[in-house]
Amino acid sequence: MILHGYWRSGTSYRTRIALNLKGVAYEQSAYDLRAGAQNGADYRALNPQMLVPTLEVNGTLLTQSPAILEWLEERYPEPALLPQDMSERATVRAMAALIGCDVHPLGNLRVLGQLRTQFGADSAAVKQWTARWIGDGFAALETLIGRHGGRFAFGDMPTLVECYLVPQLYSAERFSIDVSPYPRLLAVANAARALPEVEAAHPDRQPDADPQ
């Protein structure tokens, strides 16, 4: 199994967390997004959308991290990242999708690039933009964690929510966004980050890590 990704990509990070929590071994193949490596012919052959990650499994190419995570849950049911109860599963998936659809994509590299080229956005404007979506999403998630959370965002075991939340918090911290209004969210994210499987998925721990 080969994870084609990038150390700092939130969706690659999310996939590494799930793989590690499932205890699935994988190699990594890195594409430097800052250099546009994902737009080259090599990666395009793997994924016509030219976005990371792609998970290669015996020659089969799985793309889009939400689909990859569902595949991992079906292929490696234990430890489960979704509850057994049908409406609890829907709640976990909703909390994950809140980040996966309504926060993360708005702060993607290509989106921030478009803000810069189309609207001349400077760093302050990019931060304001990012803070809006992280703020909206984290505020709603704080309420949902209050309703459903325990040691983790949903109950007392890590779920798909942690796979999405930990990378999003990493991104918020990189943008120096104030996350103090979300104490429950921080508490569950910190509990997740303390797990060795999650710690090992951190961008700085990856082979292609290149901190400035």
Applying CB under 8 A, which residues contact a second copy?
48-51, 57, 60, 62-68, 70-71, 74-75, 86-87, 89-94, 96-98, 100-102, 104-106, 110-111, 114-115, 118-119, 121, 125, 128-129, 132, 136-137, 139-140, 143-144
The tokens 């075991």 sit on which residue? Answer: 157
Q: How far is the CB of 111 from a second copy (least distance, A)?
A: 7
Pick between residue 115 and residue 195 the one whose CB is nearest to a second copy. Answer: 115
Q: Which residues, 6+ apart, have CB-to-CB distance to 153 below 8 Å?
A: 95, 141, 144, 145, 159, 161, 162, 165, 185, 188, 189
CB atoms under 10 Å from CB of 77, counted, come to 11
Please confirm whether the linkage preceding 53 is cis (ω < 30° from 0): yes
Residue closer to a second copy, measured from CB, 65 or 206: 65
Cβ–Cβ < 8 Å for 61, 47: yes
Q: How far is the CB of 140 from a second copy (least distance, A)?
A: 4
Q: How far is the CB of 150 from a second copy (least distance, A)?
A: 18
Residue 12: closest CA among 170, 118, 152, 146: 170
Nearest approach in angstroms of CB 162 to a second copy is 16
8 or 104: whose CB is closer to a second copy? 104
- What DSSP string describes 50-74? --S-EEEETTEEEESHHHHHHHHHH
Q: Shortest gap between Cβ of 194 and a second copy (angstroms)? A: 27
**SS3 for 177?**
coil
What's the closest the beta carbon of residue 3 comes to a second copy, in angstroms? 14
Using an 8 Å Cβ cutoff, are 192 and 169 in contact? no
Q: Are residues 6 and 30 in contact, defined by beta-carbon separation less than 8 angstroms?
A: yes
CA 59 to chain centre: 24
